[in-house]
Amino acid sequence: MALGVLSGCAVAAPVQEMSNARQAVQAAREAKADRYAPQNLDQAERLLKKATMELQLGNYNEARTHALAARHEAVVARNIALSSSGRSNE
């Protein structure tokens, strides 16, 4: 019985959050955030690396937190890049 309760509390790997963060960083790169928002892009990439490291260590809560922060920072970088380059924010 106790084993069932403990396994029910297990935290799942943040697979979707990691994927979302990777896609957001890639979208920021494609929008030329390295030119228009390099600090935001660098921060997003650092956070994604931290998330990846935490995921590998099995620290899923920390990985999720870093992945969500990386995605947010990448979205900010992309939006800055798109507005700075005069392209529409699709």
Is the distance from CB of 12 to CB of 64 less than 8 angstroms? no
- Determine the Cα–Cα distance for residues 27 and 18; give it in Å rounded to an integer: 14
- pLDDT for 52 equals 98
pLDDT at 1: 41
pLDDT at 5: 42
pTM: 0.84
- Check residue 80 and report its DSSP letter: H
**Quick one: pLDDT at residue 86?**
79
Look at residue 81 in the predicted model and tell me its pLDDT: 97
pLDDT tens across the length of the chain (90 residues): 444 444 445 689 999 999 999 999 999 999 999 999 999 999 999 999 999 999 999 999 999 999 999 999 999 999 999 999 876 555
- Can you give the pLDDT at residue 11? 81
* Sequence-separated contacts (24+) of 46-54 with Cβ below 8 Å: 47/21, 47/73, 48/21, 48/22, 48/74, 51/14, 51/17, 51/18, 51/21, 52/18
